Protein backbone atom coordinates (compact mmCIF):
# COMPACT_ATOMS: atom_id res chain seq x y z
CA UNK A 1 0.00 0.00 0.00
CA UNK A 2 3.04 2.31 0.20
CA UNK A 3 2.85 3.27 -3.47
CA UNK A 4 -0.57 4.82 -2.74
CA UNK A 5 0.80 6.82 0.19
CA UNK A 6 3.26 8.67 -2.06
CA UNK A 7 0.26 9.98 -4.00
CA UNK A 8 -1.53 11.29 -0.91
CA UNK A 9 -0.71 14.97 -1.06
CA UNK A 10 -2.68 18.11 -0.27
CA UNK A 11 -3.49 19.80 -3.56
CA UNK A 12 -3.45 16.62 -5.68
CA UNK A 13 -6.14 16.48 -8.35
CA UNK A 14 -8.22 13.29 -8.20
CA UNK A 15 -10.93 11.76 -10.36
CA UNK A 16 -13.84 10.26 -8.42
CA UNK A 17 -14.41 6.60 -9.37
CA UNK A 18 -17.56 5.90 -7.36
CA UNK A 19 -20.41 7.65 -5.61
CA UNK A 20 -22.69 10.43 -6.79
CA UNK A 21 -19.71 12.56 -7.90
CA UNK A 22 -18.40 9.71 -10.10
CA UNK A 23 -16.45 10.94 -13.12
CA UNK A 24 -15.89 14.39 -11.65
CA UNK A 25 -12.65 15.94 -10.50
CA UNK A 26 -11.81 17.20 -7.03
CA UNK A 27 -8.76 18.28 -5.02
CA UNK A 28 -7.40 16.68 -1.86
CA UNK A 29 -7.76 19.28 0.91
CA UNK A 30 -7.06 17.01 3.87
CA UNK A 31 -5.60 13.63 4.76
CA UNK A 32 -7.43 11.67 7.45
CA UNK A 33 -5.19 8.57 7.39
CA UNK A 34 -3.72 6.23 4.79
CA UNK A 35 -7.19 5.08 3.69
CA UNK A 36 -9.25 8.28 3.75
CA UNK A 37 -8.83 11.80 2.43
CA UNK A 38 -11.00 14.91 2.35
CA UNK A 39 -11.83 16.20 -1.12
CA UNK A 40 -13.53 19.36 -2.38
CA UNK A 41 -14.24 20.80 -5.82
CA UNK A 42 -15.15 24.37 -4.83
CA UNK A 43 -18.58 24.01 -6.41
CA UNK A 44 -20.99 21.31 -5.21
CA UNK A 45 -18.49 20.21 -2.56
CA UNK A 46 -17.07 23.34 -0.97
CA UNK A 47 -13.93 23.69 1.15
CA UNK A 48 -15.96 24.17 4.36
CA UNK A 49 -17.83 20.89 3.77
CA UNK A 50 -15.32 18.49 2.20
CA UNK A 51 -16.24 14.89 1.40
CA UNK A 52 -14.46 12.11 3.27
CA UNK A 53 -13.52 9.58 0.60
CA UNK A 54 -11.79 6.20 0.59
CA UNK A 55 -8.65 6.49 -1.55
CA UNK A 56 -9.65 3.24 -3.30
CA UNK A 57 -12.58 5.18 -4.81
CA UNK A 58 -10.30 7.85 -6.27
CA UNK A 59 -8.07 7.87 -9.32
CA UNK A 60 -4.99 9.91 -8.44
CA UNK A 61 -3.99 12.27 -11.23
CA UNK A 62 -0.30 13.08 -11.89
CA UNK A 63 -0.82 16.75 -10.97
CA UNK A 64 -0.58 18.65 -7.70
CA UNK A 65 -1.97 22.18 -7.74
CA UNK A 66 0.80 24.30 -6.25
CA UNK A 67 -1.65 27.18 -5.67
CA UNK A 68 -3.84 24.97 -3.49
CA UNK A 69 -0.88 23.29 -1.73
CA UNK A 70 0.79 26.67 -0.96
CA UNK A 71 -2.45 28.20 0.30
CA UNK A 72 -3.10 25.22 2.60
CA UNK A 73 0.48 25.35 3.92
CA UNK A 74 0.37 29.09 4.58
CA UNK A 75 -3.14 29.57 5.97
CA UNK A 76 -4.65 26.10 6.44
CA UNK A 77 -7.45 27.11 4.05
CA UNK A 78 -8.07 27.51 0.35
CA UNK A 79 -10.77 29.46 -1.46
CA UNK A 80 -13.44 27.66 -3.43
CA UNK A 81 -12.50 29.79 -6.44
CA UNK A 82 -8.93 28.47 -6.25
CA UNK A 83 -10.21 24.88 -6.16
CA UNK A 84 -12.45 25.49 -9.18
CA UNK A 85 -9.58 27.17 -11.04
CA UNK A 86 -7.17 24.27 -10.34
CA UNK A 87 -9.70 21.69 -11.58
CA UNK A 88 -10.65 23.76 -14.64
CA UNK A 89 -6.99 24.29 -15.56
CA UNK A 90 -6.28 20.56 -15.26
CA UNK A 91 -9.38 19.52 -17.25
CA UNK A 92 -8.54 21.98 -20.04
CA UNK A 93 -5.00 20.62 -20.21
CA UNK A 94 -6.44 17.13 -20.70
CA UNK A 95 -8.82 18.41 -23.37
CA UNK A 96 -12.01 17.55 -21.49
Average per-residue pLDDT for the chain: 93
**CATH number of the domain where residue 27 is located:** 2.30.30.30
Instruction: Give me the number of domains the chain comprises.
Output: 1
Positive or negative: CA dihedral 28, 29, 32, 38:
negative
Does position 4 have pLDDT exceeding 80, yes or no? no
- State pLDDT tens for residues 40-75: 999 999 999 999 999 999 999 999 999 999 999 999
Residue with more model confidence, 93 or 23: 23
Q: What is the pLDDT of residue 95?
A: 72
Looking at residues 24-30, what average pLDDT do you find?
97
Distance CA 60, CA 83 (A): 16
Q: What is the pLDDT of residue 7?
A: 84
CB atoms within 10 A of CB 74: 9
Domain range for 76: 2-94
Q: What is the DSSP-derived secondary structure letter of residue 55?
A: G
Amino acid sequence: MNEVNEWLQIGRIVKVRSGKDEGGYAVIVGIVDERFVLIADGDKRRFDGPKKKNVMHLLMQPVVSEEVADSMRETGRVTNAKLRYAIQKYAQGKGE
